[in-house]
Amino acid sequence: MNRDEPLARHAVTMSADQDASGSAGGATAASARRIAHLDMDAFYASVELLRRPRLRGRPIVIAGRQPKVLRIDASMRGVVTTASYEARQFGVRSAMALAEVARRCPDCLVVPVDFDEYRRLSRMFKAVIRSFTAQVEDRGIDEVYIDLSDTPGIAEGRGRVLAQRLKDAIREATGLSCSIGLAPNKLIAKIASDLEKPDGLTVIEAGDIAQRLWPLAVRKINGVGPKADERLAALGVQTIGDLARQPLALLLEHFGNRYGHWLFEAARGIDERPVVTWSEPKSRSEETTFERRLHPQRDWRQIARVIASQAESVAQGLDRRQYLAGTVGVKVRFDDFRIVTRDVGMREPNADPVMFRRAAFEALARVPMDRPLRLLGVRASALEHAAQRLRTGGETATSAQAGGAPAGAAAPKAPPPIDDLFSPGE
Ligand code: TTP
Ligand code: MG
Ligand code: MG
């Protein structure tokens, strides 16, 4: 098989969106659950202070890519990723413009961002948590949900003992502090972890809801954004307690069926979402960036070869993991950085390299090739697990079988002529 020599970079991605409303692990009774939300304190800033101990105690913000630490000045552009707690005393916050920081806190220092280091510490603290239990749901670089219901020691001191052990182990391994909220579900745990930051440990049980949650602003509920907050304020609802006093009918009238019901339950601290320890992949893709520009006509054979090989490889990667795709598409980036994508729906979800190749060529034929290009990619989406399709009685049982030769998929639409130029194994 020909190599596609001018490759600069080649990337394979299986990307997943975590879906916390899935049905995994819903067996435990809601009342019995002990769910922790753990969030690192001033995460990027705290990581920077680990290696710049002389800055401890000073107001700092993390922003920009400049080579060194600078004193804030009103001419600086950009926004704050996070601020140390010392800087927060001046009202400095995430997402604030540096010019505004200069006004509020003229002594603030600006430390450059180093994502690699934050990712390294993120992996480190999550590994510590996983040494306690595998029931961990990743929620981003500095936070997780943990289902501690079955973790040994959870019964001691309403769970405080175990939560403190977690905090101590993280501090020992990383030098960083975190805040933990421990509650019967994710909704309350998330609110709780924020109540005593930094270095907090807050336990809320079902019986504490009225006393602990109801005095708080409705905005503290993760899921009440600025718009909902505004509309609730118009109804005279400021606190979670105010919300709990609203009749269901009124909430349904103003917020619709889904969100209205959700608000009604949230105010009462009801949330049955499980801690999801794995995430269902949503797509798989391969992309290749070329060192030289490819001409849409002169380099057509190479373009076709790359697309064919990417399509086959994406299909094989899915097949190995027993996934089927309902959609296959291509991505083209032209030399002016314009990106065009085109998707083709499969008649039946499958992971058949031949079908993928045809679909990818069909998609490619829809891309107006009016310029030289720099990147080609194939992406499969609308994924489903082969086993799921068998369970739900998908008629294409044969195409869903793992590992075997692809079979039984519906007859393809007429493929573009280029398709037959490149049979597998050329
Ligand atoms: P957060 O956990 O929201 O904030 P934090 O850890 O800095 O502070 P807290 O003690 O209140 O938890 O976000 C985690 C990191 O994500 C934060 O350190 C920097 C980054 N981040 C941004 O880059 N932009 C933002 O707007 C926010 C909110 C966070
Ligand atoms: Mg944090
Ligand atoms: Mg966070």
- pLDDT by residue (tens digit) across 345-387? 999 999 999 999 999 999 999 999 999 999 999 999 999 988 7
Tokens of 5: 């020599």
Ligand 1 atom, smallest distance to 198 CA: 10
In order of 77, 95, 208, 287, the CA distances from 304 in angstroms are 44, 44, 64, 14
Task: Find out whether 165 and 133 touch, Cβ atoms under 8 Å.
Answer: no
Query: Is this prediction's pTM over 0.85?
Result: no
DSSP per residue over 233-246, as a string?
HHTT--BHHHHHTS
- Which of the listed residues 85, 94, 100, 167 should we mutate to test ligand 1's pocket, taking the one with most ligand atoms within 8 A of CB? 94
- pLDDT by residue (tens digit) across 102-120? 999 999 999 999 999 999 9
**CA of 200 relative to ligand 1 center, distance in Å:** 16
Q: From CA 272, how far away is CA 185, in angstroms rounded?
A: 7
N-terminal to C-terminal alpha carbon distance within the chain: 5
DSSP per residue over 114-151, as a string?
-HHHHHHHHHHHHHHHHTT-S-EEE-STTEEEEE-TTS
Ligand located closest to 37 CA: 3
Q: From CA 133, how far away is CA 35, in angstroms rounded?
A: 12
- Which residues are identified as catalytic? 143
Q: Which of 15-29, 67-81, 126-140, 270-284 is predicted with the least confidence, judged by mean pLDDT?
A: 15-29
**CA of 112 relative to ligand 1 center, distance in Å:** 15
Q: Which residue owns the Cα nearest ligand 1 atom 10?
A: 41
Q: Which residue owns the Cα nearest ligand 1 atom 28?
A: 94
Ligand 1 cavity residues, CB under 6 Å: 39-44, 81-82, 94-95, 141-142, 197-198
Task: Find out whether 175 and 154 touch, Cβ atoms under 8 Å.
Answer: no
Q: From CA 331, how far away is CA 333, in angstroms rounded?
A: 7
Q: From CA 80, how far away is CA 102, in angstroms rounded?
A: 11
Q: Which of 155-164, 217-226, 297-306, 394-403 is predicted with the least confidence, judged by mean pLDDT?
A: 394-403
- Which of the listed residues 82, 167, 176 should we mutate to test ligand 1's pocket, taking the one with most ligand atoms within 8 A of CB? 82
Locate the DSSP E strands across 101-232: 109-111, 136-138, 143-147, 178-183, 201-203
Ligand located closest to 113 CA: 1
**CA of 401 relative to ligand 1 center, distance in Å:** 44
Q: Please enumerate in sequence order all residues whose Cβ is within 8 A of that of 135, keeping only pairs 6 or more positions apart, or say none.
A: 25, 146, 147, 148, 149, 150, 151, 275, 277
**Torsion from C-alpha of 409, 414, 416, 418, nearest 10 degrees:** 60
In order of 283, 324, 329, the CA distances from 12 in angstroms are 11, 17, 15
In the predicted structure, residue 6 carries a pLDDT above the cut 80: no
